């Protein structure tokens, strides 16, 4: 699904170059649940942004689902992203003036996919995640765990090929965080490819593969 070859990413402050990624070589296969582990500043979020087509590498080659994405314009990248990738973030990023089902439906507006009966699908996803009685609640009326479940349902509404989760348990207590990771495991067992980006070592046991990034390079890659 994902092939990265010698991926480098630098930022520039004036004439000073700040290298973030220093030659990443990585293949991720369909159906994996990858835990991408690293401390703050290691480059893990930058790598996730490149994989998620939110940012572009400074150098190197990236193939996503068999297609080279190097050199594609922003509009094409946005279309690929909306078609194939679902995102889950630490801070949920739910719109406060919309209720749960309305938040789940947001990606439909930007997707070229034809989703049959999207409102019914959103309702089914929320019910599956234990929120059948909360579909009309706004984010302020939901707990952190409930908000993250809404965010996961939103990520799934377009039936993406890949789910990218950036610190999905960072704003949750340990029990609720474990419940969210259990949910990712179930989705993975159903065939979803998932990459969880985290600094929390407690999450390593949930993946089928652990990739550790340190100082912009991969220091460990273990498949279980």
pLDDT along the chain (224 residues), means of 10: 97 91 96 96 95 95 94 90 92 95 90 81 95 96 95 94 95 92 95 96 94 97 93
Give residue 53's pLDDT.
96
pLDDT of residue 203: 94
Contact indicator for 138, 97 with CB cutoff of 8 Å: yes
3-state secondary structure string, 25-38? EEEECCCCEEEEEC
CATH number for the domain including 93? 3.40.50.300
Domain of 47, in residue numbers: 2-223
Domain total in the chain: 1
CB burial readout 43-82, b (16+ within 10 A) else e: bbbbbbbbbbbbeebbebebebeeeebeebeeeebebbbb
> Considering the entire predicted model, what is its pTM?
0.93
pLDDT of residue 199: 93
CB atoms within 10 A of CB 34: 24
């Amino acid at each position: 699904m994902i092939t990265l070859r010698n991926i480098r990413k630098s930022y520039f402050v004036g004439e000073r170059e700040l290298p973030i990624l220093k030659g990443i070589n990585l293949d991720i296969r369909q159906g994996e649940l990858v835990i991408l582990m690293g401390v703050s500043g290691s480059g893990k979020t930058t790598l996730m942004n490149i994989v998620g087509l939110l940012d572009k590498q400074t150098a190197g080659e990236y193939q996503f689902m068999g297609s080279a994405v190097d050199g594609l314009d922003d509009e094409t990248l946005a279309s690929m992203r909306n078609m194939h990738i679902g995102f889950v973030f630490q801070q949920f990023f739910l719109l406060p003036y919309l209720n749960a089902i309305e938040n789940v439906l947001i990606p439909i507006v930007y997707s070229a996919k034809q989703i049959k009966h999207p409102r019914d699908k959103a309702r089914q996803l929320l019910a599956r995640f234990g929120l059948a009685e909360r579909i009309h609640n706004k984010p302020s009326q939901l707990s952190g765990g409930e908000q993250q479940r809404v965010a996961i349902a939103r990520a799934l509404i377009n039936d993406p090929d890949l789910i990218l989760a950036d610190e999905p348990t960072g704003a949750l207590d340990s029990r609720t965080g474990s419940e969210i990771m259990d949910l990712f495991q179930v989705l993975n067992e159903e065939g979803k490819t998932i990459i969880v980006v985290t600094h929390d070592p407690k999450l390593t046991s949930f993946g089928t593969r652990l990739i550790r990034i340190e100082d912009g390079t991969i220091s460990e890659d273990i498949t279980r």
